[in-house]
């Protein structure tokens, strides 16, 4: 039975300034099991990157509970947080400048974060990771000679340098072309097959349609989950599938512990409501939502 990698309950994040207070997360609940490849999607400002930063130890929650890899992020000291960020999580950013040092070679960049005992072990591990991301031939290349997609693959290798329990990726395909995005996704898929737990924030429709579990965040809460249909689960690399147009996933609305669900705005608009009141009734095994008087 898989261990729980991420357990978030009632997670709240409030950003305060002198003039205003922004509620970025509003009681978010989420469980991710060890070995899962999960994507987070949502509009700008929905809270997905805030959540990723908290899991990565880059931001502190305001309230609720957050346990990652058995570690409680609410009770960690600053010293424990440094060890957590080094050993438990690896981060891949959209902006390569946050991942890479331009004056070092690809091999040197990957070796830099390692805390293994000997130079030989570091080099052997770095070469193994370069092979994993398909860039062994570029090991001595300076970063300014590599394409954006190649740099992002080096960034993935760097994030894996200390064998983290959890790999976090914030818009990893946001600045590359569709062909390179597909290759990067294939790297994540292969890593996941080897047991790596991965959480990706993405706005890429085609990418999210290939993921077995997609979490949609709206207004700081989990609003729905999409699960890859069984008929597509073993066909991720088939060129014949149009991932942008085919209906590859089943979507489920998520009910929180208080029995609340978020109804997508486009569905509510079809009801042409005059106020915020809705009518609920049971018909056989279905709950029917309609406007008053319907």
Encode pLDDT of 17-45 as tens digits: 877 888 888 889 999 999 999 999 888 88
pLDDT at 97: 63
pLDDT at 26: 86
Residues of the chain with pLDDT under 50: none
pLDDT at 1: 59
Pairing of strands 63-68, 213-218: unpaired
- Yes or no: say if 58 and 135 are a contact pair by the CB < 8 Å rule: no
Domain coordinates in residue numbering, the chain? 266-294
Determine the 3-state secondary structure of 143 from DSSP: helix
C-alpha span between 83 and 273 (Å, rounded)? 52
Tell me the two tokens of residue 118. Answer: 């000997």
C-alpha span between 50 and 178 (Å, rounded)? 26
pLDDT at 93: 83
C-alpha span between 287 and 294 (Å, rounded)? 15
- Yes or no: say if 181 and 125 are a contact pair by the CB < 8 Å rule: no
Q: What is the pTM of this model?
A: 0.84
The residues pairing with 6 across neighbouring beta strands, listed in sequence order, are 32, 68
- Yes or no: say if 138 and 146 are a contact pair by the CB < 8 Å rule: yes
pLDDT at 213: 92
Give 111's contacts (C-beta < 8 A, 6+ positions apart).
Answer: 122, 123, 125, 126, 161
Comparing C-alpha atoms, which of 66, 38, 23 is closest to residue 220?
Answer: 23
Alpha helices in 200-274, H assignment, sequence order: 205-210, 230-233, 265-271
- Side by side, the strands of the sheet bearing 166-170 are 89-92, 166-170, 197-201, 37-41, 213-218, 221-228, 249-253
Phi/psi class of residue 163: alpha, beta or left (left: φ > 0; alpha: ψ in -120 to 50)?
Answer: left
Nearest-5° Cα angle at 160, 154 to 166? 130
C-alpha span between 171 and 174 (Å, rounded)? 5
pLDDT at 237: 66
C-alpha span between 132 and 147 (Å, rounded)? 18
pLDDT in tens, 167-190: 999 988 887 888 888 888 888 988
Is the CA virtual torsion 249, 250, 253, 257 positive or negative? negative
- Side by side, the strands of the sheet bearing 63-68 are 21-33, 4-16, 63-68, 71-72
89 alpha-carbon distance from chain centroid: 12
pLDDT in tens, 255-275: 877 788 888 777 888 888 888
pLDDT at 37: 94
Alpha helices in the chain, H assignment, sequence order: 48-55, 78-87, 106-111, 119-132, 148-159, 178-193, 205-210, 230-233, 265-271
Determine the 3-state secondary structure of 172 from DSSP: coil
């Amino acid at each position: 039975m898989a261990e729980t990698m991420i357990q978030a309950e009632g997670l709240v994040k409030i950003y305060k300034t002198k003039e205003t207070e922004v509620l970025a997360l509003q009681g978010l609940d989420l469980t991710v099991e060890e070995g899962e490849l999960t994507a987070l999607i949502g509009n700008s400002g929905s809270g997905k990157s805030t959540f990723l930063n908290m899991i990565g130890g880059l931001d502190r929650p305001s309230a609720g509970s957050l346990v990652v890899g058995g570690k409680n992020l609410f009770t960690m000291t600053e010293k424990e947080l440094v060890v957590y960020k080094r050993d438990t999580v690896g981060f891949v950013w959209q902006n390569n400048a946050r991942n890479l040092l331009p004056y070092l070679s690809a091999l040197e960049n990957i070796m830099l974060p390692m805390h293994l005992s000997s130079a030989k072990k570091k080099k052997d591990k770095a070469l193994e990771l370069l092979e994993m991301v398909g860039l062994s031939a570029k090991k001595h290349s300076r970063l300014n000679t590599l394409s954006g997609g190649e740099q992002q693959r080096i960034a993935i290798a760097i994030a894996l340098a200390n064998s983290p329990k959890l790999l976090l990726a914030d818009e990893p395909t946001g600045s590359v072309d569709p062909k390179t995005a597909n290759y990067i996704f294939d790297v994540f898929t292969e890593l996941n097959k080897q047991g790596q737990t991965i959480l990706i924030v993405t706005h890429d429709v085609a990418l999210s349609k290939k993921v077995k579990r997609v979490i949609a965040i709206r207004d700081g809460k989990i609003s729905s989950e999409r699960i890859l249909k069984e008929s597509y689960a073993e066909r991720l690399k088939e060129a014949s599938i149009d991932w942008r147009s085919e209906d590859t996933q089943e979507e489920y609305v998520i009910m929180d512990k208080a029995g609340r669900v978020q109804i997508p705005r486009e569905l509510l608009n079809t009801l042409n409501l005059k106020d915020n009141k809705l009518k609920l009734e049971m018909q056989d095994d279905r709950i029917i939502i309609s406007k008053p008087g319907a």
